[in-house]
C-alpha cells in the first residue's frame, strides 16, 4: 500500500492488535484509518448483547491505550455485505451505533480468506466492481491481512491497484467516503481518560 501510495481502512481484531502493538501504531502513523472489528472475531449474532458490547469495548480501550485515539468505524465479523437484513445481523449493528460507531459494509469480497490465487482475487474484485447492477456493484473492497497465509492477497494488491487505476478509480479511506475527517473517525482521547501524557 505504501509503495503504491494507497490509503486503506484497517478493521482490527483486538487480540491481534494486542499481540502486534507496533503494527497498529505503524498503520496509524502511515495515515490509514483504523476501525473496530471486535476483540476475538466472534459471530456477534450468536452472542448476548452484553458480550457484543464487551467485544467492541475491549478493542476500543486497547486502541485508546496504544494510540491515544478512539475509533468511530466498526465492521461486524461475518457480516459481508452492506445491507444487513436478519436480526442476527441487525442487532450487533444497532448496538455498535448506540455506542457511537459508524457501521461499515461492503459489496466487493473476493473471499481471499479462502486463499485463492492472486489472479483469482484480482479477477473477482474487477468483476464485482464492474457489476452492472447498482444493487450489487460496490466500491468498498474487503481484503484480509491476518488469519493465516496472506501471501496471495499480498501478491494481488499491486496488480489490483494498477488494474483499478487503469479503469480510472481513485483510492480513499472509508472515513473519506463517509465524509469524516481523520479526527472524527479516530478522535483523540481526552488526557484524563487515556493515561497517556
Grid cell of 104 as nine digits: 461499515
For the ranges 12-16, 27-31, 135-139, 140-144, which has the lowest average pLDDT? Answer: 135-139
139-182 pLDDT, tens digit per residue, is 788 898 877 788 999 999 999 999 999 999 999 999 998 899 99
pLDDT higher than threshold 50 for residue 18: yes
Residue 61 has pLDDT above 80, yes or no: yes
Phi, psi angle pair for 143, to nearest 5°: -130, 155
Average pLDDT, the chain: 89
Q: Is the dihedral of CA 157, 162, 133, 123 positive or negative?
A: negative
76-114 confidence digits (pLDDT tens): 998 755 667 777 788 889 999 999 999 998 888 898 988
192 C-beta neighbours (distance < 10 Å), count? 6
Q: Which residues does residue 103 pair with via DSSP β-bridges, in sequence order?
A: 74
Asked if pLDDT for residue 7 goes beyond 90, the answer is: yes
Its pTM stands at 0.89
122 by Cβ neighbours in 10 Å (0-12 / 13-18 / 19+) ranks as: buried
pLDDT at 197 over 50: no
Of the two residues 24 and 78, the one the predictor is more confident about is 24
Q: Per-residue pLDDT averaged across 12-17, rounded? A: 96
pLDDT value, residue 105: 84
Give the residue, 125 or 146, on which the prediction is more confident: 125
pLDDT given for residue 195 in this prediction: 52
Q: Report yes or no: 131 and 137 within 8 Å, Cβ to Cβ.
A: yes
Per-residue cell: 75: 465492521
Given a cut of 70, whether residue 194 has pLDDT beyond it is no
Amino acid at each position: 500500500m505504501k509503495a503504491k501510495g494507497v490509503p486503506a481502512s484497517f478493521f482490527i481484531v483486538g487480540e491481534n492488535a494486542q499481540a502486534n502493538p507496533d503494527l497498529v501504531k505503524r498503520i496509524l502513523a502511515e495515515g490509514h484509518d483504523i476501525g473496530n472489528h471486535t476483540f476475538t472475531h466472534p459471530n456477534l449474532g450468536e452472542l448476548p448483547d452484553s458480550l457484543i458490547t464487551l467485544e467492541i469495548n475491549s478493542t476500543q480501550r486497547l486502541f485508546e491505550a496504544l494510540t491515544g485515539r478512539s475509533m468511530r468505524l466498526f465492521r461486524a465479523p461475518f457480516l459481508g455485505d452492506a445491507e444487513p437484513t436478519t436480526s442476527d445481523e441487525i442487532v450487533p449493528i444497532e448496538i455498535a451505533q448506540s455506542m457511537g460507531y459508524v457501521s461499515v459494509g461492503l459489496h466487493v469480497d473476493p473471499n481471499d480468506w479462502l486463499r485463492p490465487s492472486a489472479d483469482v482475487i484480482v479477477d473477482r474484485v474487477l468483476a464485482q466492481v464492474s457489476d452492472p447492477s447498482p444493487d450489487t456493484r460496490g466500491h468498498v473492497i474487503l481484503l484480509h491481512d491476518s488469519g493465516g497465509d496472506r501471501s496471495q492477497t499480498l501478491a494481488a494488491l499491486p496488480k489490483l491497484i494498477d488494474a483499478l487505476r487503469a479503469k480510472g478509480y481513485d483510492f480513499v479511506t472509508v472515513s473519506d467516503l463517509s465524509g469524516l475527517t481523520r479526527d472524527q473517525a479516530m478522535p483523540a482521547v481526552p488526557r484524563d481518560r487515556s493515561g497517556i501524557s
